Amino acid sequence: MSTVDARADAVRVGRRSDRRATVGLLSAPLVWLLLFFVVPVGFVAAYSVGAVRIFPTDGSVSLADWQRFLTGGSIYLDLFWKSVLMSLAVSVVVVLLAYPVGYFLALCVRKRKYVLLLVIIAPFLTSFLLRVLAWKVILGDQGVVNTLLFWLNLRAPDDPVPWLLYSRFTVMLVLAYVWVPFVALPIFVSLDNLDRSLLEAASDLGSSRWRTFVRVTLPLSVPGIMAAFVFVFVPTIGEFVTPQLVGGTEGYMYGNAINDLFTEGLDWQSGSVLALFLLLVVAGLMVLFGRWIQVRNVAG
């Protein structure tokens, strides 16, 4: 065997063992995700069209549930659009709140900017349920706001402001409160990675600060804004806990409908249709906006 052949053989063996090592590394995580993530989602898809049956009451193979849902034969599609609007509004508000903070920390603070960033992010470490509950305490009939109004003689104690709690407004306020800390990070990262010499160049060329912001800084931070937007929109559109705690009937969202179909109405098949539809919409959004989003900026 010539040396060239021997070397080619060695490379081939190396490649083979290389491939085996890759398979070894990937098999455990991929098997876990396939069994407990891909399969369940696929199973729900099959269940939603009646291809699998679990309960005796389940319908057989048909697209009837889907058709009824998509053609507006049920209340759920309207509810979906209402929730989309609420989530969109929340996402916009959250980005508007977080952007100035990210801008300030990334570009105007020199010392201790990471400490200050941590101050903004830290509330995210506290219990989600408790942060929602806090607003119930603040906005309730005997809560902070109504007590304050009473003390200031602006409102009688037996006549609290009713729309503070259990309204669409409350759900949106609380959701914004919950997600601001999470979103400050991707916006900060995109602004912090900005090449500052571009700002200096703009200023040297006579651009005003405002113009530099609109023409240079803002466009360059679009990926951060997009990531922030999607990472608020996705969890809020699937939200059911916050509306349940502070939403009342007016703040009822699409997620509540899914949850109720599974826990109270026990119509799992319709619930699966609703859940899968939500998943398809989110997947569609990711396909549309995916190229803008640096997944890394989220866990920074």
Partner 1 sequence: MSDIAASGRARGLLILFFAGLVLFLYLPIGILALFSFNDGDVSFPLQGFTTHWYGDALTNPTLLGSLERSLLVATVSSVIAVALGILAAFALVRRRFVMKSAVSALVFSPLVVPYLVFGISLLVLFTALDKFLTDTMGVYIGLGLHSVVIGHVVVSLPYAILTIMPLLERLSLSLDEAARDLGAGPWETFRRVTLPLLLPAIVSSFLIAFTLSFDEYAIASFLAGTQPTWPVYLFAQLRVPSLLPQLVAVSSIVLIASVLLVGAAEVGRRVAERRYAGSLPETG
Provide, rounded to whole angstroms, the least separation between the CB of residue 6 and partner 1. 21
Looking at the Cβ atoms of 167 and 240, the one nearer to partner 1 is 240
Stretch that binds partner 1, among 1-9, 64-72, 137-145, 158-166 (CB under 8 A): 137-145
Buried b (16+ CB within 10 A) or exposed e, 26-48: eeeeeeeeeeeeeeeeeebbebb
Which strand (E) or helix (H) includes residue 218? helix 218-220
Please report, in angstroms and rounded to a whole number, the separation of the first and last CA atoms in the chain.
53
- Count Cα atoms within 13 angstroms, Cβ side, for 14: 6
Taking the CA atoms of residue 233, residue 35, residue 127 and residue 168 in that order, the dihedral angle to the nearest 10 degrees is: 30
Please identify, among the stretches 4-12, 14-22, 70-78, 164-172, the one whose residues bind partner 1 according to the rule CB under 8 A.
Answer: 14-22
Q: Which is nearer to partner 1, 40 or 73 (CB)?
A: 40
By CB under 8 A, the residues from 198 to 237 that bind partner 1 are 199-200, 203, 209, 212, 217, 230-231, 234-235, 237
- Say which DSSP state 10 is in: H
Instruction: Name the one range near partner 1 by CB under 8 A: 6-14, 33-41, 62-70, 76-84.
Output: 33-41
Spatial separation of the C-alpha atoms in residues 163 and 252, rounded to whole Å: 14
Question: Rounded to the nearest whole angstrom, what is the least distance from the CB of residue 54 to partner 1 in the complex?
Answer: 5
Tell me whether residue 77 or residue 149 sits nearer to partner 1 (CB atom). Answer: 149
**Which residues from 263-282 bind partner 1, rule CB under 8 A?**
268, 271-272, 275-276, 278-279, 282
Q: What is the DSSP letter of 193?
A: T
Of the pair 235, 248, the CB lying nearest partner 1 is at: 235
59 phi and psi angles, rounded to 5 deg: -75, 165
For residue 81, state whether it binds partner 1 (rule: CB under 8 A).
no
Spatial contact of 231 and 182, defined as CB atoms under 8 Å apart: yes
Q: Is 100 in the site for partner 1 (CB under 8 A)?
A: yes
Among 32, 159, 211, 222, interactor with partner 1 by CB under 8 A:
32
- Ranges within 152-191 binding partner 1 (CB under 8 A): 177, 180-181
Judged by CB under 8 A, the stretch of 1-9, 65-73, 77-85, 123-131 that binds partner 1 is 123-131
Q: How far is the CB of 1 from partner 1 (least distance, A)?
A: 26
Q: Rounded to whole angstroms, what are the CA distances from 284 to 43, 80, 234, 287? A: 20, 15, 12, 5
CA dist 59 to 212, 277, 278, Å?
61, 19, 21
> Scanning residues 35 to 74, which ones bind partner 1 (CB under 8 A)?
36-41, 43-44, 47, 52, 54
C-alpha distances (whole Å) from 48 to each of 54, 149, 258 are 11, 50, 13
Give the residue, chosen from 22, 57, 62, 67, that forms a contact with partner 1 under the rule CB under 8 A. 22
Q: Is 138 in the site for partner 1 (CB under 8 A)?
A: yes
By C-beta, is 1 or 289 nearer to partner 1?
A: 289
Q: Are 268 and 47 in contact (CB under 8 A)?
A: yes
